[in-house]
Amino acid sequence: MASEQHLSAIKGAKVLMVGAGGIGCELLKTLALSGFKDIHIIDMDTIEVSNLNRQFLFRQSHVGESKAKVARDAVLKFRPDISITPYHANVKDPEFNVDFFKQFNVILNGLDNLDARRHVNRLCLAAGVPLIESGTTGFLGQVTVHVKGRTECYECQTKPAPKTYPVCTISSTPSKFVHCIVWAKDLLFAKLFGDKNQQNDLNVRSSNVSSSSQQTEDVFERQIDEDIEQYGRRLYDHVFGYNIELALSNEETWRHRNRPRPIYVKDIIPTELIHENGDLDKDSIIGDSSVSAMATLGLKNPQDLWSLKENSKLFFEALKLFFLKREKEIGNLIFDKDDQLAVEFVTAAANIRASSFGIPLHSLFEAKGIAGNIVHAVATTNAIIAGLIVIEAIKVLQNNVKDYRMTYCLEHPSKKMLLMPVEPFEPNKSCYVCSETPLTLEINTHHSKLRDLVEKIVKAKLGMNLPLIMHGSVLLYEVGDDLEENEVANYAANLEKVLSELPSPITGGTILTVEDLQQELKCSINIKHREQFDEEKEPDGMILFGWTQALAVEKNYNGASTSQATSLNTEEDEELQFIPTQIGKKRKLSDNFITASSDNSCIPKETKIKRKADEVDCNNGNSDYGREKMEQ
């Protein structure tokens, strides 16, 4: 039985939940059954079929509806006397500002991405409202408490960074299937179906051009009146045949590597079979109205391991269906692991490339998991973590600071325990978010533009959504709906200027003030001019110091994005080694910890256990074919 003090704290509390997925469903149920009377929920997602195996508040009839609203209605059926306010919206929307956060006694996070987590952390700091973070992946999970001035904030500790590969590895010398997935998804798929103006490393010209005018044509473009089968063969021979032969011409590259073999259509599928490839009379619509090449080819089991010939047929059929059924979307498509046809195309292309390089083939089920970074979820872990969140929330509401615990749910017992409680860190004095420690940026001020600084540093690394950049009293950049037209034009012009040529030049020794008014976050950046950067190791052409980032950790399930280096899954699914010294013992940044060279995280000198870092992108509750992030 809860004490009167507990009941009083619970009934009088106003709680904000961010996320109504895997953990969110369990959490809302637990809050309601624990006596909480005023609960608000923010979630921008709608319900998918893949959610239904563990997000128990949802049913088949709810597919396509708002998670937050359906969760509210479901809980009110067994707790009609409480108030639940749903918001089908993005927590980063302007309406959810600091004043909005100030009305709550505690914030409970169940988000599925690092960017939103950082945003909520900053709003909680600005509003002075305690934050309880959580995350699960499989049998692992954790709950952490963040109270301004008393414990570390969410960004005090390093966050796991994605494994990155140089483009040369992805485009020329793949050695793992994940390399082939990245190539198929972020290079080939993007080149064929995405933004045509986007730079892409597949811009290699065909070997059979006969004139300078033909030589300037993009071989990936379908020619006017070109038969789709003819286009498919030309494309197949180019990327899997000619490009491989071109790579083989560099003998030095293959001196210590296995040589790939070029693959041409004629060697795999006779021309007449390509024409007979798929049966469009068959139902090509499966599941959630997705066009499917598998359906037209009669391939039924996504866990089957298809041969090179079958993958080649799937490649041609998927390509044909994109042009026959979804031609209007071509030029604007972005890979989505819930897009059946996109997954089929990427699986087929990755397997053909893998075959060329002597890499084992994978089933569509496996390929989808890698491409979408899908991590299998366990409903029981979500329930355990939801219960721990409520326990910590009650402690926070009672201001029992000495009883706060960061609790880790383990897959295997440690010291005969599956739940490992640890006292929180004290605030990190070098954290630029909660301690306002200045940052240092090494950058070539004569070559880099203000746009590079904004996109690569201010937004990508510092996580600011509506940044404002000042040099002394001069405002160099600002975004917002209240700007005049001339101001918008002026700031847009500044973006294209080299740093040293701005109205108030940025050079070595300059101190910039960067601020996000929505997050009420301000930090200083000391500029240090540097002439040269290593293109492989420092692809951004700039390095930020004082910003907590872990070294990359490679996992089996990764997504990717492409720039000069290709990143395997942004924040989603990296494991961080994190070890409490003794159960219940106070952990301080200054003692008992050393910096691990392997992952740049803080590792105590004593016994080690593994846990998933709370910054891991946790899925709002999807199944094997669910969202690409981990359950959160």
CATH of the domain at 208: 1.10.10.520
Say if residue 65 is in the same domain as residue 149. yes
Q: Please identify every residue annotated as catalytic.
A: 168
Is residue 52 a known part of a binding site? yes
Please give the C-alpha separations between residue 397 and each of 12, 34, 193, 213, in angstroms, as whole numbers. Answer: 9, 14, 52, 72
pLDDT at 613: 35
End-to-end CA distance of the chain: 29
Any domain includes 250 = yes
Q: Do residues 458 and 469 make contact, with C-beta atoms less than 8 angstroms apart?
A: yes
What pLDDT is recorded for position 199?
64
Instruction: Answer whether residue 78 is part of any domain.
Output: yes
The count of domains in the chain is 3
Same domain for 263 and 393?
no
The reply to whether 20 sits in an annotated binding site is: yes
Same domain for 56 and 140?
A: yes
Which of 517, 545, 573 is at the close of a domain? 545
Shared domain for 24 and 99, answered yes or no, is yes
Is 24 marked as binding a ligand? Answer: yes
Is 526 annotated to bind a ligand? Reply is no
| Whole-number pLDDT of residue 237 | 93
**Shared domain check, 154 and 15:** yes
Last-in-domain residue among 325, 358, 391 = 358
Residues 334 and 411 reside in one and the same domain? no
Q: Is 180 one of the annotated binding-site residues?
A: no
Q: Which domain holds residue 67?
A: 4-159+376-422
The answer to the question of whether 434 is labelled as a binding residue is yes
Q: Flag whether 169 is in a domain.
A: no
**Cβ–Cβ under 8 Å, residues 583 and 421:** yes
Identify whether residues 257 and 405 lie together within a single domain. Answer: no
CATH code of residue 497 = 3.10.290.20
Q: Are residues 113 and 16 in the same domain?
A: yes
As a whole number of angstroms, the distance between CA 342 and CA 284 comes to 14
pLDDT of residue 617: 38
pLDDT lower than 70: segments of the chain: 1-3, 160-166, 198-217, 271-290, 374-375, 547-632
266 belongs to a structural domain = yes
Answer yes or no: do 323 and 461 share one domain.
Answer: no
Per cent of the chain over pLDDT 70 is 78
523's tokens: 């930090």
pLDDT of residue 274: 54
Q: What is the CATH number of the domain that holds 73?
A: 3.40.50.720
Other Cβ atoms closer than 10 A to 487: 13
Quick: pLDDT tens for 480-523.
888 888 989 999 999 999 999 999 999 999 999 999 988 999 99
Do 138 and 251 lie in one domain? The reply is: no
496 occurs within a structural domain? yes
CA nearest neighbour of 551 among 182, 260, 162: 162
Cα angle vertex 438, ends 434, 441, to 5°?
125
Residues 258 and 328 in one domain: yes
pLDDT of residue 424: 92
Q: What's the burial of 212, exposed, middle or buried (CB within 10 Å: 0-12/13-18/19+)?
A: exposed
Is residue 365 in some structural domain?
no
Taking CB atoms within 8 Å and a gap of at least 24, the contacts of 272-280 are 273/313, 274/229, 274/232, 274/233, 274/316, 275/229, 277/313, 277/316, 277/317, 277/320, 278/313, 278/316, 278/317, 278/320, 278/321, 280/324
Does 336 appear as a known binding residue? no
Q: Per residue in 22-42, pLDDT tens?
A: 999 999 999 999 999 999 999
Same domain, 353 and 229: yes
Cβ atoms of 437 and 417 closer than 8 Å: no
Backbone angles phi, psi at 252, to 5 degrees: -60, -35
Annotation-wise, does 110 bind a ligand? Answer: no
44 to each of 56, 61, 144, 556, 564, how far by Cα in Å? 18, 19, 23, 28, 32
Q: For residue 604, give the H/E element and its range.
A: strand 602-604
The domain boundary, picked from 396, 422, 448, lies at 422
Query: What are the CA-CA distances from residue 3 to residues 6, 38, 392, 394 (Å)?
Result: 5, 19, 16, 11
Is 409 annotated in a binding site? The answer is no
Give one DSSP letter per residue of 247-293, joined into a string.
HHT-GGGGTTSPPP----HHHHS-HHHHHTS--TTS--EETTTEE-H
Q: Which one, of 28, 329, 370, 18, lies nearest residue 176 by Cα?
A: 370
